[in-house]
Amino acid sequence: MGIESLLVANRGEIAVRIIRAARDMGIRTIQVYSEADVDSLPVQLADDSVLIGKPPSTKSYLNIESLISAALDIGADAVHPGYGFLAENGDFADAVEAAGLVFVGPSGETIRRLGDKVTARSSADAIGLATVPGSAGRIDNLEEAKPILEEIGFPVLIKAAAGGGGRGIRVVCNQEEFDRLAPQASTEALTAFGDGGIYIESYIHNARHVEVQVIGDGESVLHFYDRECSLQRRRQKIWEEAPASCVPDDVRMRLCDEARNFASSVGYRGAGTLEFLYDSSTHEFYFLEMNTRIQVEHPVTECVTGVDLVRESIRVCDGNSLGRSQDEIVLKGHSIECRINAEDPANGFMPQPGTITELKIPGGPGVRFDSMLYPGYTVPPYYDSMLGKLIVWDEDRPSALNRMRGALDELDISGIKTTKSLHQALLKDINVVEGNVHTTFLDDWLSKANIQ
């Protein structure tokens, strides 16, 4: 018991965030880095650093063997995976524990169980948490689909069992279309994924993405309320808020309680997020999946609850109990996060690696910028394009929107193009201002709008 030194098995802004949390707790920090990250901010901030390999992540941040031997060589007693990279790799969690170190996250077994969509869904079914209505698993022929279609009604989505990233999805409005398109979808899935299995799901028109933050200590679980992340470009979140303005308070309580029950039912340890599709016309919510790690958008939850989620998750993974009750977690005000990416919105979101020549960071009450940037830093081309997250808090949503406008105006990143201009344009859109958005809103908006 008692983590004294923590190896940060990640990079970029989340590495900086983890180092800051660990430093506040009096824990020594060790930052791993690839050859491309020698000059990075987390390497400068950590107490120690270890070179683990070449720039491509497969040769560094995804190399389990290098990470474990770095941790053992330098005498770390815990490993934090951050998000992305190996954060949801059960084998990595197992390897960390097998090396006698603390993994800041759930067990490998829990990661695998919740990472598989079919077993996650059956865990939800087992405790009565609603999932999107549809076939229990794959359907093998049209006859098998008939009773399911009668039960859930049209429109439905036909999805490839082996698919991902939205590929191979068809929207079907009636039986005739279904009979025609289902065999096509199966053939296409076989060609694309080597597996012709398909399944069906009810199509929720204008669905919103709502999620619930939880932290468990392996025995009990607390929820930290909800977030909405409906503004997505090609299924990548770019803007998040807490709480979800589309969810009425009575539904919020039910949603958060059910999420908490689910996490309790699997004996969850660490920070996790349950993702839901939300139908704002009926106020029904449907469990999609659980992410078994800290998420990019955790700061909006920190702003509205006042709890340092990164510190809390390190504490519980170190064997401490949560040490507070659910009614001590109180929702206050409204928070918004805009992801600032190294992409040019005026040129098809072309990636923009390069050197930051000038940097002005906004400040004032309720303004936070989580980032790994500094003037003169060169953004390498090898990793994802996120440069930082601009987060604001205010007493209510209209004030928070206003504060975000001012903070974006103050933010100045020179040398490369960023998505700041996208957020400024979105803040002028009446639907965004009124919170009238859904998960395909931004893709539609981008196909119509001209942003400079």
Partner 1 sequence: MSNQQIVSPLPGIFYRRPAPDQPPFKEVGDAVSVGNVIGLIEVMKSFHEVKSDKAGTIAQFLVDNEDAVMAGQPLVDLND
Nearest-5° angle of CA 437, CA 244, CA 123? Answer: 105
Options 23, 25, 47, 55; binder of partner 1; rule CB under 8 A: 55
Whole-number Å distance between alpha carbons of 14 and 12: 6
Comparing CB distances to partner 1, the nearer of 303 and 356 is 356
CB atoms within 10 A of CB 324: 11
Q: Could you say whether residue 376 binds partner 1 (CB under 8 A)?
A: no
CB 209 within 8 A of CB 220: no
CA distance 424 to 433: 12
CB closer to partner 1 out of 34 and 89: 34
Among 94, 344, 384, 429, indicate the residue that binds partner 1 (CB under 8 A).
384
Residues that bind partner 1 (rule: CB under 8 A) add up to a total of: 14
Q: Is residue 342 a contact residue for partner 1 (CB under 8 A)?
A: yes
By CB under 8 A, tell whether 381 contacts partner 1: yes
Task: Give the helix ranges, DSSP H, for 290-361.
Answer: 298-305, 309-317
CB nearer to partner 1: pick between 212 and 342: 342
Residue 396: what residue type?
D
* Contact flag: residue 54 with partner 1 (CB under 8 A): yes
**Residue 385, interface with partner 1 (CB under 8 A)?**
yes
List the strands of the sheet with 102-103, edge to edge: 48-53, 28-34, 5-8, 78-80, 102-103
Element at 227 (helix H, strand E): strand 221-233
Closest to partner 1 by CB, 204 vs 416, is 416
Nearest approach in angstroms of CB 375 to partner 1 is 20
In the complex with partner 1, the residue whose CB is nearer, 71 or 160, is: 160
Told to check if 445 binds partner 1 by CB under 8 A, we report: no
Residue 33, phi-psi category: left (phi > 0), alpha (psi -120 to 50), beta (remainder) = beta
Contact 78, 3 (CB under 8 A): yes
In the complex, least distance from residue 355 CB atom to partner 1, rounded to whole angstroms: 12
Q: Please identify every residue annotated as catalytic.
A: 293
Residue in 58, 281, 282, 452 binding partner 1, rule: CB under 8 A:
58
Contact with partner 1 (CB under 8 A): which of 61, 286, 369, 383? Answer: 383
Nearer to partner 1, 170 or 237 (CB): 237
Whole-angstrom Cα distance, residue 192 to residue 74? Answer: 45
Q: Over 394-420, what HEC string results?
A: ECCHHHHHHHHHHHHHHCEEECCCCCH
Binding residue (CB under 8 A) for partner 1 from 353, 363, 364, 375? 353
Asked if 56 is part of the footprint of partner 1 (rule: CB under 8 A), the reply reads yes
377 binds partner 1 (CB under 8 A): no
By the rule CB under 8 A, 276 interacts with partner 1: no
Cβ(360)–Cβ(410) under 8 Å? yes
Closer to partner 1 by CB, 66 or 123: give it. 66
**63 touching partner 1, by CB under 8 A:** no
Q: What is the DSSP letter of 349?
A: T
Q: For the CB of residue 418, give the shortest distance to partner 1 in the complex, in Å.
A: 12
Which region, judged by CB under 8 A, interacts with partner 1, from 296-304, 367-375, 381-389, 392-400? 381-389
Q: 3-state DSSP: the chain helix, strand, coil percent, rounded to 5?
A: 35, 25, 35
Q: Which of 115, 133, 351, 366 binds partner 1 (CB under 8 A)?
A: 351
Q: Which residues bind partner 1 (CB under 8 A)?
A: 36, 54-56, 58, 342-343, 351, 353, 381-385
